[in-house]
């Protein structure tokens, strides 16, 4: 029943996205976090974002870094990221702009009940954009705050509701950049792998954007018994 509900929800979002002025973006992500020890992790993820319901790429991304687990509530991380983004939603446009990022974040997980976690994440990003035919090179500083509620339904299913606010300093102006509201459902194959599907509505300064998300995560653990999934 949950699988049928999820399929109907995503189908409806796809049809809704096609009717928008800007097509909905399908956001596929592969996450391969490398766990070096109980205290240290290397986050690694790749994403591919499309123009509408198609295979035409809007953006390619890669992110990595290092994460330190301080205790069962706090962790901090820092790293780099590369973004390649088409300069318009037109499929015949083959120009991609390049962006390099430095990022830092702190995450606080508060367990409200055995099955409910309230997560706070604060992230900073130093963004370096290369020049394209439609704009010169520039830099920006973006601040992001995300509040998420993660509810475990049973051994296999979880649901997440989140809101993320972003403010950016660019061209000597510090202003609202976007706000994302997200709902997603996760199916857990084991403690080391899961698949997650959902929807994001992003409010921009003068418009809005819709995302359909699909994420596969596989944890690679290099300590202890990596074959133990319980």
For residue range 74-86, list pLDDT tens digits in order.
Answer: 999 999 999 999 9
Say how far apart CA 144 and CA 161 lie, in whole Å: 17
C-beta of residue 146 within 8 angstroms of C-beta of residue 162: yes
pTM given for the model: 0.87
C-beta of residue 212 within 8 angstroms of C-beta of residue 202: no
Q: Is the dihedral of CA 200, 156, 4, 196 positive or negative?
A: positive
C-beta of residue 147 within 8 angstroms of C-beta of residue 163: yes
What is the share, in percent, of the chain residues with pLDDT greater than 70? 88
Least Cα distance to 54 among 73, 26, 22 occurs for: 26
E strand or H helix that includes residue 187: strand 173-188
Question: How far are the Cα atoms of 92, 131, 171, 191 from residue 136, in angstroms, in the given order?
Answer: 22, 4, 11, 46
Q: Is the dihedral of CA 118, 142, 59, 178 positive or negative?
A: positive
C-beta of residue 7 within 8 angstroms of C-beta of residue 1: no
Q: What is the pLDDT of residues 4-54, one digit of tens each?
A: 444 545 555 444 444 446 789 999 999 999 999 999 999 999 999 999 888
């Amino acid at each position: 029943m949950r699988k049928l509900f999820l399929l109907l929800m995503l189908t409806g979002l796809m049809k809704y996205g096609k009717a928008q002025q800007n097509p909905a973006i399908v956001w596929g992500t592969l996450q391969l976090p490398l766990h070096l020890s109980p205290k240290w992790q290397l986050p690694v993820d790749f994403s591919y974002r499309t123009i509408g319901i198609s295979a035409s790429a809007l953006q390619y991304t890669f992110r990595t870094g290092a994460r330190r687990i301080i205790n069962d509530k706090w962790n901090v991380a820092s790293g780099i990221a590369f973004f390649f983004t088409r300069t318009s939603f037109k499929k015949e446009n083959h120009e991609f702009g390049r962006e390099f990022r430095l990022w830092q974040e702190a995450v606080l997980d508060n367990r409200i009940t055995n099955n409910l976690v309230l997560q706070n994440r604060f992230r900073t990003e130093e963004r370096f954009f290369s020049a394209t035919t439609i704009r010169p090179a520039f830099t920006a500083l973006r601040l992001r705050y995300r509040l998420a509620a993660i509810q475990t339904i049973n051994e296999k299913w979880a649901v997440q509701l989140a809101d993320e606010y972003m403010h950016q300093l660019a061209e000597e102006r510090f202003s609202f950049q976007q706000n994302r509201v997200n709902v997603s459902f996760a199916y857990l194959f084991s403690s080391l792998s899961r698949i997650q599907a959902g929807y994001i509505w992003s409010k921009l300064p003068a418009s809005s954007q819709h995302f359909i998300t699909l994420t596969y995560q596989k944890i690679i653990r290099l300590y202890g018994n990596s074959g133990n999934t319980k």
